[in-house]
Amino acid sequence: MLDIYRYGDEVLREPTKDVTKFDDALAMLVEAMFDTMIEADGVGLAGPQVGVGSRLFVVDTRREGERLAFINPDIIETSDDSVPYEEGCLSIPGVYHDVMRPSRIVIRAQDVEGRHFTLEAGGLLARAIQHEYDHLQGKLFIDRLDDAERAKVIAQYEKRSKGRRRHR
Ligand code: NI
């Protein structure tokens, strides 16, 4: 299992670089990211969250055909609408908030073997992809909330993490 970096860790805010080597090390990293994500009960996990400054993320919505690795991704189209959906993040565990985002996207990326693919997605898959894609820009879902909402979510998170530390 990989360590998941938390809100406040600088690595979550740092820029990411393209993946250039599609080798065994990359395949092993991606497998470890899937395992870590499933163990933590998440639907997505991005490189920066495990301390890797590379443009890659994994998504598994637990629906058939939706266990996907995205290497060097680009969201090339987004629908014109903006819809709410409750999001959480393995780097800010235990807090959730509705975030507005387009309901459908088209993404172009490479798989672990370097093959290019294009995918159109809606629903939870589109949501997870956009959330993880933000991580590659050093962006967290709370950055998309207004100031009052963000302050509330951060306060909830800090209260939870303090409580957890006391119990150790
Ligand atoms: Ni996240």
* Segment 46-103, tens digit of pLDDT: 999 999 999 999 999 988 878 999 999 999 999 999 999 999 999 999 999 999 999 9
In eight-state DSSP terms, residue 92 is S
- Ligand 1 centroid–CA 135 distance in Å is 7
- Ligand 1 centroid–CA 10 distance in Å is 14
- Ligand 1 centroid–CA 90 distance in Å is 6
- DSSP sequence for 9-76: -GGGGS--B-----SHHHHHHHHHHHHHHHHTT-SEEEGGGGT--BSEEEEE-SSTT-EEEEEEEEEE
- Ligand 1 centroid–CA 113 distance in Å is 24
Residue-level pLDDT at 64: 80
Residue 132 falls in the annotated catalytic set: yes
- Mind listing the pLDDT tens digit for each residue in 131-168? 999 999 999 999 999 999 999 999 999 998 886 655 43
Find all residues with CB under 8 Å of 40, minimum gap 6, and list them.
4, 90, 93
**Cβ atoms within 10 A of the Cβ of 151, count?**
12
Which of the following is catalytic: 39, 87, 113, 132? 132
In a 3-state reduction of DSSP, which class is residue 117? strand
